[in-house]
Amino acid sequence: MEPIQVYKCFCDVQRLRILNLLKDGPLCVCHLVEILGADQVKICKQLRYMKELGMLEDARVAQWKVYRLANATDPLLEENLKCLQDCYSEVITFKEDTQKRSAIALRMQKENAACAQAINS
Amino acid sequence: MEPIQVYKCFCDVQRLRILNLLKDGPLCVCHLVEILGADQVKICKQLRYMKELGMLEDARVAQWKVYRLANATDPLLEENLKCLQDCYSEVITFKEDTQKRSAIALRMQKENAACAQAINS
DNA sequence: AGTGCATATGCTGTCAATGGAAAATGAAAG
DNA sequence: CTTTCATTTTCCATTGACAGCATATGCACT
């Protein structure tokens, strides 16, 4: 992966937040939409962007589409997510996102939601 | 410095090469032009871009203008330059640039060039 | 086939970034 | 004060990224 392309990818807070979330495991689009509180179409486009870049992979589970980080993790990606967490937590809502993610996982366990398998597969 | 702005700055190989060079100490525009083998006006614009971003500082020495990294070094900047050197040395000509820089410094010592003080001030 | 939910695509206007050519500034030297 | 060298600015055309909206696809259930 060309470093310049990676940096272009990093130029959007939403993309950074998505990458940070996926770092802890796969998620389906509806979860990302809920956590980021953003337009579905927009999220979709970001996901496609990062998939074409080779950063993400996707898989279908029934109606849902599950995205995960691509296998070969880019050193730039890891370093930067760490650095952002350490130094820019007021600027990017990584912590809040991760908390929301836990809340969703919990809720789905209780409700035994159909979509739950997406997270745990 | 907003991380997004920093990443936008990183989206250009020439800017990365400039930052890498300045990490080892200040340089004047003419040296950067020589090392990067690029259009002088273009370099100028990049320098201005990074100065307005707060990443660089400049000072005049006679006819020459000397650029250096701003005092407060951004953790993102340091981390990324290191990471790029480690993992992408085939993609970005950091090593060659640094060698050229040494060659210039040496040559100027011999010639006792007027511009030399710029590097060493 | 027809409905509903989840996800994706296409199109269009807008705005920022980039490059090239020409002109302008600032400092030193004749 | 004119020339020269180093650097910067301005203007203009082009490109690329992005948001918004409408529309389309894919899958499951009936």
What is the domain count for chain A? 1
121 residues of chain B, pLDDT tens digit each: 899 999 999 999 999 999 999 999 999 999 999 999 999 999 999 999 999 999 999 999 888 999 999 987 789 999 999 999 999 988 899 999 999 999 998 887 776 666 666 665 4
Where do we find the tokens 């410094």? B105
H helices present in chain A, as ranges: 3-10, 13-23, 29-36, 40-52, 75-87, 94-111, 116-120
Instruction: Round to whole Å and give the CA distance between A17 and A121.
Output: 21
| pLDDT, tens only, A19-69 | 999 999 999 999 999 999 999 999 999 999 999 999 999 999 989 999 999
State CA B93 to chain mean position distance.
13
Structure tokens at B104: 């210039």
- The predicted-structure confidence for A82-117, as pLDDT tens digits, reads as follows 999 999 988 899 999 999 999 998 888 777 666 766
Helix (H) or strand (E) holding B60: strand B56-61
Please tell me which residue lies nearest to nucleotide C25, judged from CA to C1'.
Answer: B63
Residue B72 falls inside a structural domain: yes
pLDDT value for B106: 86
- Six-digit token pair at A25? 């495991």
CATH number at residue A90: 1.10.10.10
Residue in B15, B73, B76, B82 to test binding to A, most A beta-carbons within 10 Å: B76
B80 vs A contacts (CB less than 8 Å): 76, 79-80
Measured at the CA of B74, the angle between CA B73 and CA B77, to 5 degrees, comes to 105
The domain of A99 spans 3-120
> For the residues A2-22, what does the mean pLDDT come to?
96
Residue type, B47: L
